[in-house]
């Protein structure tokens, strides 16, 4: 399977081209089936390759060069794939969850007129995402990085006749471009220092380079800026909640499970840079903790079911960056996977609710759905328990690993840990608020609509994802419970070189060792916090039947309006920028540039008008011109002296 591995990338491309070129000429069913197969077959190939690669034994990556792409002087960029533990892990998540979401989309988008276009975009996205994670060099990763940004833009603005969707797409695109500047700068710096863009060569070149270490912080910071944009961290997170304007499967696939985790992947891939950059890592941890807390508080008072989940995604990504920043990369990648399962499940569940209620997204108009749509409600509940970190669901293990690693990280670990645990409390609260209001509380649904469970294409992925959300946590468990460390051993070959290098330079993060009792009490505390969140939500929204308000007072008003961040950005950045742009457009463009070029055109007109008078129509005039011309030639020849 390793020989035919490039097919993994090839199939989604074919699926995209097929659906895009034959958009109007093939029936919906066929487009959907081809789109889904184009992701499912790569999943099978990846599974085969996974077995063949034997990731628990091999330490060196398997390189698959496809062809040379750009060769200029000593700069060389090839189109090649690097198959190792990290890329296989990501590929399994992308194709596995991706094919489930494709299957789900076949049911969810059934009545949509642009069905085929949707599947074309989805396959394009999968193609780009696979390039991003499988590439063996930074240039190809950047190609995938931009490609997923493009697909995300296309899919957010999928309903392009709706103004809000088109604007949300644009917002996502522009904010991501800001981050991408960091990627390009970082790539340039790495090429300057390392003399190559291939990860393996970079790793070996940089390890022999003593003068790189002081600059590692800067390079790492550039790449983190890129990750900020793609993974929606403060201050570039504002596009992700707006991205919910896209169809729900897109929110599940791109804006929860895959693309937004590209930042985490990038840090893991470039671990040999980030491990040399302790200051930047600490900064990442701070940003991650702040984002986790900040977005979680906003999530508590939102009314749009998808917006709540979107803020939850921002918050969970903050958790992942908290792990990456405290240099416990395994914890971050572990949470990446568990989050992919339960957040995709929650989004698809929300989509199923929206589908059942005929495109109602406001939780104010929901309620009492439990039992009416059995599979959806039950799987949604499982997902909620997972994200809230209840034992023994997957979210518990991954989030606890992060919190534990944060607690032991450096001098300020306990502060970061406190922020994380408060964020975890809010997570539990807003998720159970959502559950109680939507599934248990008073029935506020429109009585004219008949509530119906979704077709099997939608419920089957829910069941599979729910199963995953419950069990995948057992890949890595703490000391007091089974003590499994599969994931840590699995990822060891990826990070060992980086850790070695970092310990040589003395930049390796200090993780205090933890007594097993403390570990147990930390875990118990976070479960207790989650339970408090559950009870509070139960008390407020189930017992007292607090209504879901459209407007709040006091501090809750600030929360409800998302800390007015969008308004602040608008006033501080967007408006001045537009003002300056319009000034430039008016003064420089019309007054100087336009005038200059228009006048060039005008002057030719004037010259032509003058020359026109020579053409009088009188033969005598023409004869005179001939004579004058001859005379001039003669004079010229005589003065030059033949």
Nearest distance in Å: CB 624, other proteins: 6
Positive or negative, the CA dihedral 120, 123, 125, 127 is negative
Kindly state whether residue 616 participates in binding other proteins, applying the rule CB under 8 A. yes
Of 18-26, 500-508, 543-551, 611-619, which segment contacts other proteins by CB under 8 A? 611-619
DSSP label at residue 261: G
Q: What are the φ/ψ torsions at residue 234 (nearest 5 degrees)?
A: -55, 135
Using the rule CB under 8 A, which residue among 618, 636, 640, 641 binds other proteins? Answer: 618
Instruction: Copy the structure tokens of residue 370.
Output: 């439990």
Nearest distance in Å: CB 612, other proteins: 6
Closest to other proteins by CB, 73 vs 605, is 605
Neighbours of 291 (CB within 10 A): 28
Kindly state whether residue 629 participates in binding other proteins, applying the rule CB under 8 A. no
Compute how many residues bind other proteins; rule: CB under 8 A: 10
Given a contact cutoff of 8 angstroms between Cβ atoms, the answer to whether 123 and 12 are in contact is: yes
Closest to other proteins by CB, 211 vs 615, is 615
Closest to other proteins by CB, 482 vs 627, is 627
Task: Find the radius of gyration of the CA atoms of the chain.
Answer: 30
- Which SS3 state, helix, strand or coil, does residue 270 take? coil
Burial 166-188 (b: 16+ CB within 10 A, else e): bebbebbbebbeebbebbebbbe
Instruction: Copy the structure tokens of residue 113.
Output: 């007129």
Neighbours of 612 (CB within 10 A): 9
Using the rule CB under 8 A, which residue among 44, 482, 524, 627 binds other proteins? Answer: 627
Closest to other proteins by CB, 564 vs 631, is 631
Kindly state whether residue 555 participates in binding other proteins, applying the rule CB under 8 A. no
Closest to other proteins by CB, 471 vs 627, is 627
Closest to other proteins by CB, 601 vs 620, is 620
Of 190-198, 227-235, 331-339, 615-623, which segment contacts other proteins by CB under 8 A? 615-623
Strand partners, 527: none
Kindly state whether residue 623 participates in binding other proteins, applying the rule CB under 8 A. yes
The beta-strand segments (E) located in 7-83 are 62-72, 75-83
Kindly state whether residue 636 participates in binding other proteins, applying the rule CB under 8 A. no
Nearest distance in Å: CB 627, other proteins: 6
DSSP secondary structure, 592-610, as one string: IIIHHHHHHHHHHHHHHHH
Kindly state whether residue 612 participates in binding other proteins, applying the rule CB under 8 A. yes
Q: Name the nearest CA neighbour of 101 among 282, 252, 234.
A: 252
Half-sphere exposure of residue 583: CA atoms within 13 angstroms, side-chain side: 6
Nearest distance in Å: CB 632, other proteins: 15
Closest to other proteins by CB, 60 vs 608, is 608
Nearest distance in Å: CB 616, other proteins: 6
Using the rule CB under 8 A, which residue among 4, 7, 568, 624 binds other proteins? Answer: 624
Kindly state whether residue 584 participates in binding other proteins, applying the rule CB under 8 A. no
Q: How far apart are CA 441 and CA 435, in angstroms?
A: 9
Kindly state whether residue 610 participates in binding other proteins, applying the rule CB under 8 A. no
Q: List residues binding other proteins (CB under 8 A).
A: 612, 615-620, 623-624, 627
């Amino acid at each position: 399977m390793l020989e035919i591995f490039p097919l993994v990338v090839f199939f989604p491309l074919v699926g995209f081209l097929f659906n895009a070129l034959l958009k109007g000429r093939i029936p919906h069913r066929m487009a959907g089936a081809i789109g889904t197969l184009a992701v499912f077959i790569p999943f099978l190939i990846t599974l085969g390759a996974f077995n063949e690669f034997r990731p628990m034994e091999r330490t060196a990556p398997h390189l698959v060069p496809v062809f040379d792409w750009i060769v200029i002087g000593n700069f060389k960029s090839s189109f090649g794939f690097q198959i190792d533990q990290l890329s296989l892990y990501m590929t399994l998540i992308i194709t596995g969850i991706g094919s489930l979401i494709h299957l789900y989309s076949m049911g969810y988008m059934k009545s949509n007129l642009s069905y085929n276009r949707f599947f074309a975009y989805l396959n394009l996205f999968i193609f780009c995402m696979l390039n991003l994670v499988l590439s063996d060099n930074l240039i190809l990763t950047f190609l995938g990085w931009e490609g997923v940004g493009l697909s995300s833009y296309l899919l957010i603005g999928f309903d392009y006749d709706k103004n809000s969707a088109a604007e949300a797409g644009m917002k996502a695109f522009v904010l991501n471009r800001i981050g991408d500047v960091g990627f390009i700068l970082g790539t340039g710096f790495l090429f300057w220092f390392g003399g190559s863009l291939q990860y393996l060569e970079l790793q070996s070149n940089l390890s022999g380079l003593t003068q790189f270490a002081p600059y590692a912080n800067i390079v790492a910071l550039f790449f983190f800026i890129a990750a900020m944009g793609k993974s929606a961290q403060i201050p570039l997170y504002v596009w992700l909640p707006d991205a919910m304007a896209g169809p729900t499967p897109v929110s599940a696939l791109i804006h929860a499970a895959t693309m937004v985790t590209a930042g985490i992947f990038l840090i893991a891939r470039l671990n040999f840079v980030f491990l040399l950059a302790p200051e930047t890592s600490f900064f990442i941890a701070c940003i991650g903790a702040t984002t986790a807390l900040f977005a979680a508080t906003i999530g508590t008072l939102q009314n749009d079911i998808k917006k709540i989940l979107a803020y939850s995604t921002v918050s969970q990504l903050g958790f992942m960056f908290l792990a990456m920043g405290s240099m416990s990369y395994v914890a971050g990648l572990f949470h990446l996977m568990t989050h992919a399962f339960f957040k995709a499940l929650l989004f698809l569940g929300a989509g199923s609710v929206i589908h059942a209620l005929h495109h109602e997204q406001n939780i104010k108009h929901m309620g009492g759905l439990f039992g009416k749509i059995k599979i959806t409600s039950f799987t949604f509940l499982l997902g909620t328990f997972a994200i809230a970190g209840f034992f023994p669901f997957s979210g518990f293990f991954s989030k606890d690993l992060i919190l534990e690693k944060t607690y032991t990280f450096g001098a300020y670990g306990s502060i970061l840990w406190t922020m994380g645990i408060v964020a975890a409390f809010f997570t539990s609260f807003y998720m159970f608020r959502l559950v109680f209001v939507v599934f248990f509380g008073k029935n506020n649904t429109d009585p004219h609509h008949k509530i119906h469970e979704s077709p099997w294409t939608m419920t089957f992925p829910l069941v599979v994802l729910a199963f995953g959300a419950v069990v995948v946590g057992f890949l890595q468990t703490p000391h007091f419970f089974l003590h499994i460390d599969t994931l840590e051993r699995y990822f060891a070959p990826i990070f060992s070189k980086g850790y070695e290098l970092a310990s040589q330079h003395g930049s390796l993060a200090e993780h205090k060792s933890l007594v097993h009792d403390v570990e147990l009490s930390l875990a118990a505390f976070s479960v207790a916090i989650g339970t408090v969140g559950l009870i509070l939500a139960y008390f407020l929204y189930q017992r007292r039947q607090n209504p879901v308000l459209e407007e709040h007072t006091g501090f809750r008003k600030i929360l409800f309006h998302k800390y007015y961040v969008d308004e602040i950005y608008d006033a501080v950045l967007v408006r001045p920028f537009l003002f300056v742009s319009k000034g430039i457009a008016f003064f420089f463009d019309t007054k100087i540039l336009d005038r200059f070029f228009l006048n060039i055109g005008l002057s030719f007109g004037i010259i032509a008008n003058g020359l026109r008078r020579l053409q009088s129509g009188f033969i005598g005039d023409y004869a005179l011109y001939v004579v004058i011309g001859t005379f001039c030639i003669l004079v010229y020849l005589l003065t030059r002296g033949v």
